[in-house]
Structure 1
Amino acid sequence: MADLADLPIDQILGLYPSLAQVQPALADLGQTLAVYQVPADTVLFSENAACQGFPLVLQGEIKVSRNSGDGRSLELYRVVPGELCLVSSASLFRAQPLSAFGVTTKNSQFMLIKPDLFKRWIETPAFRNDVLGLFAERMADLTGLIDAVAFHKLDRRLAAALLGRGQQLNLTHQALADELGTVREIVTRLLRRFEREGWVVLGREQIQIVNSAALRALVSANLN
C-alpha cells in the first residue's frame, strides 16, 4: 500500500477530471488517502458486507458480480481506469450492505475513498454529476443484461408455443406465461416484439399468426 503523495496528481485528474473541483482537494489529502496495488484475482469487496469505501481505479480492472442461490455468479459489469463503481456508490448512498462482490481481473491499482470523504466529495456538483451519470449508464447496461438473462431462449420457447395451434389463438398472455413458467410482463414484451416484426397481430385475448415461417425460423436458429 502506498499513499497519494507517491502518485502524480495530473495522472489521477486525467482519469477523473471532476476531482479537480472536490473539497478537500486531492493535493491536500497527501498520506491520508491510501493507494492500493493488488494482484489479479483479489477480492476487493464481498456481497452483503459493509462498504469500506469508493474505489477509483488507476490501473487494471475490477469485475463486479452477484452470487446466485445455487453457487453460480453473474457478472454485472467491469470497472476500468476512469470509470466508477455503481454497487459501491449505491451502498454508500443508502448506507446498506453491498449487493455484489468485486474481484480484480488483472494486476490493479486503485484509491479507496472512505465513506466520510465520499459524502463530502458528493457535495461537489461536478463529482456528483459523474456519479449520477454513472447510475444512468449502468442502468442501461443492467437493463440489457436483464433482458439477455430473462429472454434467453424464452423467445424460442414462446415461438414454439405459438406454433401448431392454428392461425388464430384464443389465448391470454397470462396463460402463455403460466405455460412457459415465466411472468406475463415478459411474455407481453416478447409478443409486442413479434408484432413489430410482423409475425403476429395482437388483440384482446387473441393472437393471430401472420408469419409462421418466421416463427419457425426463430425456433430453428436458437436450436443451432
Structure 2
Amino acid sequence: MSEAMQPAGDWVAAFPALVQLDAPARAALSAAGQRMTLPPGAEVFAPGDPCRAWLLVESGSVRVQMTSDTGREVVLYRVGPTESCILTTACLLGEELYSATGIVETETVGIAVGVGAFRRLLEDSAGFRDLVFAGFGRRFTDILMRLEDVAFHRLDIRLARLLLARAADGSVDATHQDIAVELGSVREVVSRQLKTLERDGLIQLDRGRIEIRDPAGLQRIAAAG
C-alpha cells in the first residue's frame, strides 16, 4: 500500500459506531487518522506484510481473500463503508503478520490509525476497547458462517444463493472465475454448474454476464439447503 496518506481531519463523524465514543477518544482518533484514496485493483496488504495501522473504510469496498499453494482463491469477507478490517485488528492484537490479501474492488477512501495510537486507545478508552472487540466478534462469526457454508452446503445451493444476492436488474456481471473465487471453488466446476442451470432454463450465459431467467427456480434451489 504505497498511496500517499493525508491528515483526515474530523473523519470520525462518518463512522456511526465511533461517534458514540466519549470526547477524548473521538479527539484522539481524529488526530491519529490518515486518509488515503485507493484505485480499483490496488493491493492494500499481502501475506507476510507487517500490520502498521488499524484500517477502516470510509467509502468503497476491499475484498479480503486467501490463495492456496495451488493457486485456488477464496474470498473471506469484504470491508465496506464504515467498517474496519477484522484481519488487521487480529494482526494488531496478536502482533502477527498478514495471512491474506486485501484488494480494492471499487475506488476506496480509507482511514489508517497508527499502531501506537490504536494501542493507546485500547488501554485508555473502555468504550473504544469494547467497540473493537464487539466488531471483531461480529465479523469472526460472519467468517465462521461462511466457512460452514463452504464446508457443508452443496455448490449448486451456494451458487443459486450468490446469483440471487448479486442480481441487479435481472443479471449478474461476473466471470466464471469471479464466481469460483466467491464460492471457494474452481472455475471448471462452477462452469459445469452454470451450464446445468442454463440447460434447465434458469439462467442464460453471456460473456462476463449471467442473465437470470427464472428467479423462482433459483430460489427453490437456494432453499434446498
Q: TM-score, normalised by structure 1?
A: 0.60
In angstroms, what is the RMSD of aligned CA positions? 2.8
Partner of residue 106, structure 1? 106
* Total equivalences in the alignment: 154
Q: TM-score, normalised by structure 2?
A: 0.60
Q: Bigger radius of gyration, 1 or 2?
A: 1
Give CA deviations for 1:111-134 in whole Å, capped at 9, x if unaligned.
111111111122211111111112
Partner of residue 28, structure 2? 25
Distance in 2 (CA, whole Å) between partners of 1:88 and 1:48 is 12
Where does structure 2 lack aligned partners over 5 or more consecutive residues? 156-220
Q: Secondary structure at the match of 1:111?
A: strand
Question: Residue type matched to 2:138 in 1?
Answer: E
Question: Residue type matched to 2:72 in 1?
Answer: R
Q: Percent identity?
A: 27
Shift of 1:15: 6.0
Shift of 1:8: 4.2
Matches within 5 A, 1:1-224: 1-4=4-7, 7-9=9-11, 11-14=13-16, 16-18=18-20, 20-22=23-25, 25-27=28-30, 29=31, 33-123=33-123, 124-153=125-154
Question: Residue type matched to 1:90 in 2?
Answer: A
Shift of 1:106: 0.5
Where does structure 1 lack aligned partners over 5 or more consecutive residues? 155-217
Distance in 1 (CA, whole Å) between partners of 2:20 and 2:50 is 26
Q: Please list every run of at least 4 consecutive aligned residues from structure 1 whose deviation after the TM superposition is greater than 6 angstroms.
A: none
In 2, are the aligned partners of 1:18 and 1:130 still within 8 Å (CA)? no
Give CA deviations for 1:139-185 in whole Å, capped at 9, x if unaligned.
2211111111211449xxxxxxxxxxxxxxxxxxxxxxxxxxxxxxx
